[in-house]
Chain A
Amino acid sequence: MSQVNRLSGGLVDRETALDFSFDGKRYQGVAGDTLASALLANGVRLMGRSFKYHRPRGVLSAGSEEPNALVELRDGARREPNTRATCVELYDGLLANSQNRIGSLRFDAMAVNDLLSPFLAAGFYYKTFMWPRAFWEKVYEPIIRNAAGLGRLSKQEDPDSYDKGFLHCDLLIVGAGPAGLAAALTAGRSGKRVILADEDFRMGGRLNCETFALGDQSGADWAAATVAELTGMDNVRLLPRTTVLGAFDHGIYAAVERVSDHLTQPAANRVRQTLWRIYASRTLLTAGATERPVAFENNDRPGIMLAGAMRSYANRWAVTPGQKVAVFTNNDDGLRTAVDLAAKGVTIAAVIDSRKDATPLEGFNHLRGALVVNSRGRLGLREISVRLADGSLHKIACDALGVSGGWNPNVQLTCHQRGRPVWDDTLAAFVPGGSLPTGMSVAGAAMGDMTTTGALVSGARAAMEALELSGSAPDMPQAEDAPCSPTPLWFVSEGKGRAWVDLQNDVTVKDVKLSHQEGFVSVEHLKRYTTLGMATDQGKTSNVTALAVMAELTGKTIPETGTTIFRPPYTPVAIGAFAGRSSGKDFRPTRLTPSHKWAGEQGAEFVEVGAWLRAQWFPKAGESSWRQSVDREVLAVRKSVGVCDVTTLGKIDVQGADAATFLNRIYCNGFAKLAVGKVRYGLMLREDGMAMDDGTAARMAEDHFVVTTTTANAVGISRHMEFARQCLWPDLDVTLISTTEAWAQYAVAGPNARKLLQKIVDPEFDISNEAFPFMGCGEITVCGGLRARLFRISFSGELAFELAVPTQYGDALIRRLMAEGEEFDVVAYGTETLGVLRIEKGHAAGNELNGQTSALNLGMGRMVSKKKDSIGSILSEREGMTADRHRFVGFKAVNAGDAVVAGAHLMNKGSVENAANDQGWVSSAAYSPVLGSSIGIGFLVDGDTRLGEIMVAANPLEGSSVNVEVVSAHFVDPDGERLRG
């Protein structure tokens, strides 16, 4: 089909033909078209099926308010449902399909819903599907969802990427119509930093859609010239194709820029969309206004659209929606549609004007005091019925009808901080009022200045005021200044059929009446009962009309009836834009240990520990399960020596004359008297007395300690200590700084640990047991002079050291340790082996220090020094805590083949496995290759006095409860001879 409805003129590039397809049929449009304008140009009026009743629908508007013309755009993984044809910039090869239909668009099988409509009124499913209750989820809901769907998701991964970004400006201008352009020109010339955003791909707003002159230029030419001037300004950033979708706190706005949506697909490395966070000192909302329809019986047929949209199609896109057009209006603005289309050679069948006293429009069949009361045409408008002023019914053949019920200022962004718009009687519309978001002002049609002159002048003035500019605003060209004062007409009450209010959610005047009849009078109830305004268009063309209907029913005024709240986003946003780069493996950044590269070369399995990737185990050839690798690593450490990267533990450098005093208050046990060159285990309590974290503090000098924390709590403890330093004890001379990342630290553990280290520690440093005993520490050099720190501490229970070098040498050090350790059959071990070793030794870790345990529970009650005050010390003595009899003990499977499971709860043998009989729980468990048995550690009521008792470790979830013997948590070397050796 050729472009039968293409007119002359317009702002399109006829030289650039673009091929596209809709529902499998090929068409041609031109550059500058939207999908909607191109379809209309080709005589396609039927573009979709309605949400609930599957009524045939065509395009209603020419902008982002579109409720009807929703299509599935593109195919494959890029298929995007519910795309508004009015916002899709045509590109060559564009592929679109209609949605929400079974069969073809012309013969949708689900159209049977329309015949069943008497049963499907508002709230029908609340009433109909009440019983049987079990049917709701399994039967009713799937059927309803299938019938009342919108488009289909591709269910494939989004192949495109999305950026986020941050912009700052003195003035953010939202909307580039006459008011926005005038404001941008004013602000731009002042040198202030300006951002001008517009959702359209061509800036100018209504100036591109009307035939008014601005001075001696056309509106479109003036807009283009202004945009050109703004483009040349370094301080002005133009963001076309960008929707400001929300006003947030403190002058922060979100905007989505459609970077590549007008292309077949994004260019290599380019994003599809960018979500901007805009920090604006001031914001000027110049978002214009949206025309509203008048509801009448069967007002939803393809071909019936907003009168202003009809002008947009004719003037901007050189398209007429039909060959014989009628107009139905309650205001002078609607008359312009007839004039403009007639000027383009389109036949105007009639102008139906609800106002009896309207000035006659010369040369037109201007029917004053008349109403459109019904329409006909199954898949598109063929005829309208008009009730004339004399009461007679008149049928008029036409294939398009432009409807204008007046204009509603686009107040949405003013309401995002719960501001309530106020009613303007002259405009018969809500205008911004009450408290606006911080720093926001409004101008132009968005403020109710409905003329071009009003928009230009108020835009320029608002920019001056917002930026507190002195002098006078730039001169604006002469433009039309006709007042817009519609005679309110919301719906035509004649007729028994359905008059549509919310076209996207299929809500009719009758539904609003039903809502009223059933007592849902509050607008918030009306909205939820009828689903009015709850579709993806957020009721841009329907909310006020529905309020007017409800107002009439309740006998209140519209402002008394109230408004619902507008919330971001202004228009629908792809979830991908919110995710930005945070998807897949890039969801969050990772932290890599100093030995990461080497571990990777060894084929290590990595595990996420917070943001860290740590080696979990190091599989060797021939090992088919992780247990084999871990058993081998454990036995090798116990037998000879192993090396583990422990860099991830938090390290905090504590310096100052009061460093010891500070730590004495942070830790529950004593630190004041720790000698230089010594390390001490320390337990920190929370203020409420519960155990918080444990670790060590090494005294490097009188006024210098290095504190370690668990990996998981490194940041939290750092924050806690800073809080104590800055807020609790600002009088102490102490400085803190994290050095977690600055040192690569390796645990070297096992009977041969010293022998291995002696090969790399420079000979002037004596690390014999006498010179460097258990819990010693010192600054040394290794490998011929490299500065290093050595700590004789043990998490495994073996003779062990932790050796730290500046992180850049961490990779070289692990390679050296492994090479030098060959003669001792050294192994590298990961976090699994680390866990087995510490469970065998009975050392608490994250599972035990989970925020729900006390020092008493952990068997460290006596560590809480009463000779001093420390954080949590007093509250650890409260009754609720001292009364808790859970004690830290070990468990060993009675049958060697049974597995003890962490999380299992302990029951007395023979008792019913339930919460009432709960005696405690297993917090950590492992298979101990040393003991040849599964073991666990955990908390048992009076556990310290129940050693030898046989209990049940209940795991009813998996149906595997096993018998365990209560034992000391120190399975290996309970006397600590090895680590002191």
Chain B
Amino acid sequence: MDNLKAITPLGSSTPRQDQVAGVTLVENCDVALASVAQRMGATISGLDLPAVGKSLAGDPFSVFWTAPGQWMIEAPMNSHEDIVPALLQHLDGAVSITEQSGGWARFDISGEGTIPVLERLVMLDLDALQPGDTARSTLDHIGVFLIRRGAQKFTLYAPRSSAASLHHALLQAMRAVL
């Protein structure tokens, strides 16, 4: 549609991928994001919204909880880049929808050794998080959303402007531990 070319949060035309021993760190740019907040007294239908601290994977929309009455919706970037109209069509009920695709950098970290890396960076009790659980925390002073996707698989969302600092912190920890 448009003729401007997007770049990744780390400033490249292609997403960055790093591998140290068994752990892979991927800059994931394939996701369109929008925040959804419940208006006063409204019930939202059309999408299952997870409970506090939880996420729900779906097609095309996956959802993770972010705050009381507030969620973040993920959808494939190539099919749902203009995510707000798509969601408006999909959701019923009084709802505030805000495009957030450009606001967040997503990093997926996975593989054997992921937890020893993360436990040097986030204060959360990672063992207590089940796959699907999500939490807000800080990593190297940067506010992040953390979602446990599997036993050795996590997603981190950080403000896009801090992507380079976050990536540096993650990579440094991977090299120090693995």
Residues of A within 8 A of B (CB): 161, 163-168, 193, 269-271, 274, 277, 279, 581, 586, 588-593, 596-597, 611-612, 647, 653, 655-658, 732-733, 735, 737-744, 781-787, 805-813, 816
Contact = CB atoms under 8 A, between A and B. Distances in A.
Given A742-B101, A805-B4, 20 more contacts: A163-B173, A193-B127, A269-B176, A279-B123, A588-B141, A589-B142, A589-B165, A589-B166, A591-B159, A591-B165, A655-B37, A655-B96, A655-B98, A733-B40, A737-B37, A740-B103, A785-B2, A786-B1, A809-B5, A810-B102
Contacts of A647: 161
A612 B103 contact: no
B9 to A, nearest CB: 8
A810 to B, nearest CB: 8
Given A591-B162, A733-B40, A806-B99, A597 B70 contact: no
B134 interface: no
Given A735-B70, A735-B96, A657 B101 contact: no
Nearest to A235: B127
A781 B1 CA distance: 10
B39 A735 contact: yes
B89 interface: no
A611 B35 CA distance: 24
A92 B2 CA distance: 65
B119 interface: yes
Interface in B51-98: 69-70, 82, 94, 96, 98
Given A593-B161, A783-B2, A812-B6, A161 B99 contact: no
Contacts of B96: 653, 655-656, 735, 737
Given A161-B176, A168-B128, A807-B160, A590 B165 contact: yes
A266 B29 CA distance: 36
Given A167-B119, A739-B100, A813-B4, A581 B169 contact: yes
A279 B29 CA distance: 35
Contacts of A805: 4
Contacts of B35: 737
Contacts of B124: 166
Interface of B: 1-9, 11, 29, 35, 37-41, 69-70, 82, 94, 96, 98-104, 119-125, 127-128, 140-142, 159-166, 168-169, 172-173, 175-176
Contact of B123 (A277, A737, A809): A277
Given A588-B141, A589-B165, A657-B39, A808 B120 contact: no
Given A164-B120, A274-B120, A742-B103, A612 B161 contact: yes
Contact of A656 (B40, B121, B123, B140): B40
A277 B161 CA distance: 28
A161 B175 CA distance: 12
Contacts of A744: 102
Given A596-B11, A597-B7, A806 B101 contact: yes
B167 to A, nearest CB: 10
A865 to B, nearest CB: 26
A812 B13 CA distance: 11
20 contacts: A586-B168, A589-B142, A591-B159, A611-B162, A612-B161, A653-B96, A658-B40, A737-B35, A737-B37, A741-B102, A741-B103, A743-B102, A786-B1, A786-B2, A786-B4, A807-B160, A809-B4, A809-B102, A812-B6, A813-B4
Nearest to B38: A735
Given A164-B120, A269-B175, A807-B102, A597 B11 contact: yes
B113 to A, nearest CB: 14
Nearest to B105: A741
Give the residue among A168, A279, A786, A806 with the most B Cβ atoms within 10 A.
Answer: A806
Contacts of B165: 589-591
Given A741-B160, A783-B3, A783-B4, A589 B102 contact: no
A274 B41 CA distance: 49
B176 A270 contact: yes
B39 A733 contact: yes
Contact of A165 (B120, B128, B159): B120
B98 A785 contact: no
A206 to B, nearest CB: 32
A813 B7 CA distance: 11
Contact of A279 (B4, B125, B176): B125
Contacts of B39: 655-657, 733, 735
Contact of A590 (B7, B29, B164, B173): B164
Nearest to A596: B11
A886 to B, nearest CB: 37
Contacts of A274: 120
B87 to A, nearest CB: 13
A742 B7 CA distance: 14
A812 B1 contact: no
B162 A589 contact: yes
A274 B82 CA distance: 45
Contacts of B125: 168, 279
B173 A816 contact: no
Contacts of A812: 4-7
Contacts of A743: 102
B164 A807 contact: no
Contacts of B160: 741, 807-808
Given A588-B141, A744-B102, A787-B82, A168 B122 contact: no
A657 B121 CA distance: 41
Contacts of B102: 741-744, 806-810
Contacts of B104: 741
Nearest to B67: A737
Contacts of A782: 2, 4
A592 B161 contact: yes
Contacts of A785: 1-2
A581 B140 contact: yes
A741 B121 CA distance: 23
A609 to B, nearest CB: 12
Contacts of B8: 808
Residue among B2, B8, B119 facing the most chain A CB atoms (10 A cut-off): B2
Given A596-B11, A786-B1, A806-B102, A741 B176 contact: no
Contacts of B162: 589-592, 611
B6 to A, nearest CB: 4
A589 B141 contact: yes
Counting chain B CB atoms within 10 Å of each CB, the highest count among A593, A737, A783 belongs to: A737
A605 to B, nearest CB: 19
Contacts of B5: 809, 812
Contact of A741 (B2, B69, B159): B159
Given A590-B162, A655-B96, A808 B176 contact: no
B3 A741 contact: no
Contacts of A270: 176
Contacts of B11: 592, 596-597, 811
B127 A808 contact: no
Contacts of A655: 37, 39, 96, 98
Nearest to B173: A163
B99 A742 contact: yes
B6 A808 contact: yes
A805 B82 CA distance: 12
Closest 5 interchain pairs by CB? A807-B102, A589-B165, A742-B103, A786-B2, A655-B96
A280 to B, nearest CB: 11
Contacts of B169: 581, 589
Nearest to B69: A735
A733 B123 CA distance: 34
B79 to A, nearest CB: 16
Nearest to B174: A269
B154 to A, nearest CB: 15
Contacts of A741: 102-104, 159-161
B163 to A, nearest CB: 8
A809 B164 contact: no
A514 B104 CA distance: 67
A744 B7 CA distance: 12
Contacts of B120: 163-166, 274
